[in-house]
Amino acid sequence: MDSNWTPNSGDAPTPSHYTPYSTTPPPAAENQSKKGRGSRMVVPVLIASLLSAGLAAGGTAAIVSQNGGSTTTVVREVSQPSANASSTGAAASTTGSQMSIAQMYAQEGAGVVRVEHSGGLGSGFVIDKEGHILTNAHVVDGAKGPISVSFSNNEKVEAKIVGVDNATDVAVLKVDVPASALTVMPLGSSSDLQVGAPVVAIGNPFGQDRTVTSGIISAMARQIQAPNGFTINGAIQTDAAINHGNSGGPLLDMNGKVIGINSQIDTGGQANAGNVGIGFAVPINLVKQVASELMTGGKAQHAWLGVQLTNVDPTLASQVKIGSDYGAMIAKVTKGSPADKAGLTGSTGEVTIGGQTYAIGGEVVVEANGKKIANVADLQAVVSAGKPGDKLDLTVKTSDGQTKQITVTLGDQPQEPTALAG
């Protein structure tokens, strides 16, 4: 998130227990690390070659060691496959016979590429025989001059940017090479993943080409921060070793299918730390949807409600009159957002129970388009499935127990959080 972003005038600080919804930027990384989350630092895993390039990207520079020298990493708190991907056998299923890591590397390793430009080095992978390559948006962010892609024979070719989506940290590149030179990595599904399932990461940590590491899925449905300051929902957490330079590389299941793009690591508060066993990948179902839009029109759109939300806690519901014992409470409404225009209202105060601070007074969404909303994740899923211009029929409960029906016309999420400032 851009550390210079200023909240809307009059907005109160967001309490640490709030779950920020993706349509409104969460607090700055340095604030989050001090508010209920311990000492944390979440960083994109890109190797940047110049300090000036790192600062130009809008983050904080953190020095890491590489072969006795120093490099720079930008620090930020962070569907369907395309027609082209489908035509080349990019699958959307994780079923099939499992492979050993050695078999997987032999079969898929050549599909992982090295992405370089004057400002940094990361990873990427081939998704079709037409030369399309997926990587992270922050890998190509700040590129001045040509972007090159290196294959397993170390030959560099120039890549063109097809599209970049800073809201999901996804970028699509294209290279002009013979189809016979490309190893396509099949795309799987991130909708049915299980915590504890084994996974494999392939990338270029610290410039060590096509390094393979393995681990498990440590958790699902994590939230990480996108390059533009909004939230990416549904991220995959893994303990497979991910380091600077792994950004944009694939996270695979044991069927050899890509289930996510490796994007960030949690360094435990150490700015110059490498892998500590907590890495995050953007889920492939989201990536496929965004990549398809980028390949079709060069831009991806995201439905926007314009709120920050917090779960209705049973402890809170049992002791404070909030209108419902389940649902997603609106903690804050962004001025001028679709939620604001529809008349939704946020919290009016706070209460502390057992040492935990809760928002109170905000309307609680309990149903959206006929679906029960049990928690924040349910409402996020409904909004994310929509498109700008779609109608969202909400059933909300007020703190005095009234039930209201409110229709919101979803907007197009701003490209940068600065669009919401002042």
Q: Which among 134, 180, 181 is positioned nearest to 286, based on CA atoms?
A: 134
Coil, strand or helix: which one is 44?
Answer: strand
Do residues 303 and 410 touch, judged by C-beta distance below 8 A? yes
Residues 6+ apart with CB under 8 A from 370: 393
Distance CA 136, CA 258 (A): 14
Q: Please say whether the beta carbons of 407 and 297 come within 8 A.
A: no
SS3 381: helix
How many CB atoms are located within 10 Å of the residue 370 CB? 8
Catalytic annotation, pick one of 22, 123, 189, 247: 247
Residues with Cβ within 8 Å of 172's Cβ and at least 6 positions away in sequence, in order, are 132, 133, 134, 161, 162, 163, 164, 291, 294, 295
Task: For tokens 């996510």, name the residue.
Answer: 260
Vertex 7, ends 6 and 11: CA angle to 5°? Answer: 150
Reply yes or no on whether 169 is catalytic: yes
Write phi, then psi, for 237 (nearest 5 degrees): -100, 135
Place of tokens 């996108």: 226
Given a contact cutoff of 8 angstroms between Cβ atoms, the answer to whether 344 and 406 are in contact is: yes
Q: 32: exposed, middle or buried (C-beta count within 10 Å: 0-12, 13-18, 19+)?
A: buried
Q: How far apart are CA 27 and CA 299, in angstroms?
A: 26
CB 408, CB 338: distance < 8 Å: yes
Residue matched to tokens 């917090």: 310
Catalytic residue among 117, 132, 138, 302: 138
Closest CA to 368 of 326, 398, 406, 341: 406
For the chain, give the longest Cα–Cα distance: 68
Which token pair is 274?
């490498």
Q: Partners of 157 in the beta sheet?
A: 149
DSSP reduced 3-state for 176: coil
247 is catalytic: yes
Active-site entry in 169, 209, 266, 378 = 169
Indicate which residues carry an active-site annotation: 138, 169, 247
